[in-house]
Amino acid sequence: MFWVLLLLLAWATAGTACTRLCLAAVHTAADADTRAHDLTLYEAAFLSGGPRRVADLTLVSMARQRRLLLAHTGWATVVDPRGRDEMERTVIGAIGPEGQSRIAPVRADAASADAVRSLADRLVDAGLAVPDGARSGIAAAVHQVRLAAVAVVALGAIALLAPAQSEMPRHLVALWFALPLALTMSCLAIARMEVHPYSRWASPAGQRLLGALTRRPAGTDERRYLTSVAVRGISAIGEPGLRAAFAHREQHHGPHGEHWRGARPGGHREEHRRPHRRD
């Protein structure tokens, strides 16, 4: 009856992993009352793409209002140094006192700023965003279920390859091991359908608000444009030059293999063979 011990171990492994995944999913799916909550553009951006999306939305919004120049060469230049809200002031501060900086570090600094962390905390408290611990918990639980499925297959193979010590036919032994395997595979399938779409940033309640926002876009054409950027990211930007500003790489190879920084808006390139300091 050696195979019975292996079967019990397979059931214990599969049951533990699936239970952990279910508990993590239930914790993530804690509902919230969204009837009185209208998403702002910054909130929609965070729920759709996280902190980096909030920074991108702020840059695009300021650029379209001609208060920030985003060159296709990958540089940002401040035109109006007066930010109209906390996020705009954060972006202006990330650009620096010279009023000009590359877009890539501005996006990174703005995404990690206190203003974005405060926004995230408010959305988590409202039940619209997934806490950091829940995101990592679901990912770890899914990984454990995958390992459990592999363990069940391995234990079943050992039971089938071991010398026969009972009158139980081998195909029935395989059928018994197929049951815990079916449990793990079912949990993985359900997790992919039910957890994967919102486990990164938005909770189920936040996902519903995002769906309502995209189905019924309201306001001016500019508002609808920025809503599209908030939900879909820089792929929703219609202007080729503005899209190129975000796609520009921090470094690329020159014609002879040297490393060059991207050109400034004025067209000059800076060699990157040694540390560089702007005067």
Tokens (6 digits) for 226: 């920025």
User: For the chain, first and last CA: distance in Å?
Assistant: 80
State the pLDDT at residue 154: 95
State the pLDDT at residue 260: 34
C-alpha closest to that of 245 among 107, 70, 111, 99:
70
State the pLDDT at residue 27: 67
Secondary structure (3-state) at 102: strand
State the pLDDT at residue 195: 60
Tens-binned pLDDT, residue by residue, of the chain (279 aa): 788 899 999 999 999 999 988 887 776 655 555 555 788 999 999 999 999 999 999 999 999 999 999 998 899 999 999 999 999 999 999 999 889 999 999 999 999 999 999 999 999 888 888 887 666 677 788 899 999 999 999 999 998 888 766 677 888 889 999 999 999 999 988 877 766 554 478 887 888 888 888 776 566 788 889 999 999 998 888 888 888 888 865 444 343 333 333 444 444 444 333 344 443
Please state whether beta strands 100-102 and 259-261 pair in parallel, antiparallel, or not at all (unpaired): unpaired
DSSP state of 273: S
State the pLDDT at residue 272: 37
pTM of the model: 0.65
Tokens (6 digits) for 225: 């444009």
Please state, in angstroms and rounded to a whole number, the distance separating the CA atoms of residues 115 and 43: 12
